[in-house]
């Protein structure tokens, strides 16, 4: 049986991978296709699916924001929903998805921006067409810029009273000043409301939104051959940017022996008590098959007999214990 190549092996372009290894109890069918432009698409056919859905991850996020315009990647995420050359109306995409029983959203994390939707099976091909246009020919309408900056500002104000976001900002402020991890991910009206912002937005999109750093996942009740036809015809049009160089995030590490080992007392907005312990460890993407950090999280967070959690629960010292290897924040 063919399997997905490991990260150490370059994935050949324009190649199909059928008969992917899966659980014996898994009744769904899978197909991995690498398009000529380098975009990787995983197709999942589930005859029992009540809805169809798609998600695309672009391997760029707020760590790539220019210092002068924090929140630019998040702003780009918002603007892609507001009209394309093929479907120029600002509310075309949202309206179509909503009218066909679906939902749509997106998020911007440190090094990935992800867009996704679900919709009725009958409307899937049309929704996928509208979705694909985000990455083919978006308009970035001038008329939408001011309104969307205000929407981002409102989102940021909401986060100011969120304890998770406040703790995240503390961690950023305590990291090395020249590290990329100090960046203000969301953006607000103060940093984005300037005459050059649309030009900067276009520059960032044209530089980084390249097909070869995009991963698409599609699920539907339709046969794989039909889904493959949809995906190939639409996403082969996504341009590949020549000479793309992704940013390096580790040139200045956010933490070292000079700013680790501290205990911070934080007064929360909500009335609750919690203790959070952070370890800053090397990322483990090269070990994605064995997932050592996930294994460590499972060991620490296990709640069975003789576990750390069971001992603390027994003595009424905690109400919950959560472990998570992610240090990513969403905007």
Active-site choice (77, 148, 200, 228): 77
Per the CB < 8 A criterion, the answer to whether 309 and 302 are in contact is: yes
DSSP string, 4-53: PPPTTSPPPSSEEE-S----TT---EEEEEE-TTS-EEEEEE-TT-SEEE
Alpha-carbon span 216 to 42, nearest angstrom: 6
For residues 318 and 312, the answer to whether their CB atoms sit within 8 Å is yes
220 exposure class (CB count in 10 Å sphere: 0-12, 13-18, 19+):
buried
Q: CA 93 to CA 104: how far, in whole Å?
A: 9
Torsion angle of the four alpha carbons 30, 36, 39, 44, in this order, in degrees rounded to the nearest 10: -10
Closest of 48, 42, 47 to residue 20, by C-alpha: 42
The phi and psi torsions of 214 (rounded to 5 degrees) equal -115, 140
Q: 217: buried, middle or exposed (CB in 10 Å: 19+, 13-18, 0-12)? A: middle
- State yes or no: is 92 an active-site residue: no
Q: What is the spatial distance between Cα 280 and Cα 48, in angstroms, rounded to a whole number? A: 42
Q: Which residue has the tokens 């997905």?
A: 4
Which positions are annotated as active-site residues?
77
């Amino acid at each position: 049986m063919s399997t997905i190549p490991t990260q150490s092996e370059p994935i050949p372009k324009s190649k199909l991978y059928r008969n992917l290894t899966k659980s014996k109890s898994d009744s769904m069918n899978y197909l991995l296709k690498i398009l000529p432009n380098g975009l990787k698409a995983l197709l999942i056919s589930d005859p029992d699916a009540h809805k169809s859905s798609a998600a695309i991850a672009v391997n760029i996020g707020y760590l790539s924001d220019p210092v002068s315009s924090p929140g630019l990647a998040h702003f780009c995420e918002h603007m892609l929903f507001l009209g394309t050359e093929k479907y120029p109306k600002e509310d075309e995409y949202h309206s179509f998805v909503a009218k066909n029983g679906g939902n749509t959203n997106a998020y911007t994390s440190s090094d990935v921006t992800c867009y996704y939707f679900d919709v009725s099976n009958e409307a899937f091909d049309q929704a996928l067409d509208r979705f694909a246009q985000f990455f083919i020919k978006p308009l970035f309408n001038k008329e939408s810029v001011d309104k969307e900056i205000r929407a981002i500002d409102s989102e940021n104000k909401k986060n100011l009273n969120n304890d998770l976001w406040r703790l995240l900002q503390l961690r950023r402020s305590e990291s090395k000043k020249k590290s990329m991890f100090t960046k203000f991910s969301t953006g607000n009206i103060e940093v984005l409301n300037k005459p050059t912002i649309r030009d900067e937005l276009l520059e960032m999109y044209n530089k980084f939104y390249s097909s070869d750093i995009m991963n698409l996942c599609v699920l539907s009740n339709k046969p794989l051959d039909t889904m493959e036809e949809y995906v190939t015809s639409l996403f082969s049009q996504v341009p590949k940017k020549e000479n793309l160089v992704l940013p390096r995030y580790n040139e200045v590490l956010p933490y070292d022996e000079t700013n680790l080992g501290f205990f911070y007392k934080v007064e929360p907005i909500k009335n609750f008590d919690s203790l959070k312990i952070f370890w800053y460890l090397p990322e483990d993407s090269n070990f994605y098959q064995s997932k050592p950090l996930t294994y460590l999280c499972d060991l620490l967070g296990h709640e069975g007999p003789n576990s750390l959690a069971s001992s603390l629960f027994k003595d009424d010292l905690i109400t919950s214990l959560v472990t998570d290897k992610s240090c990513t924040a969403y905007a």
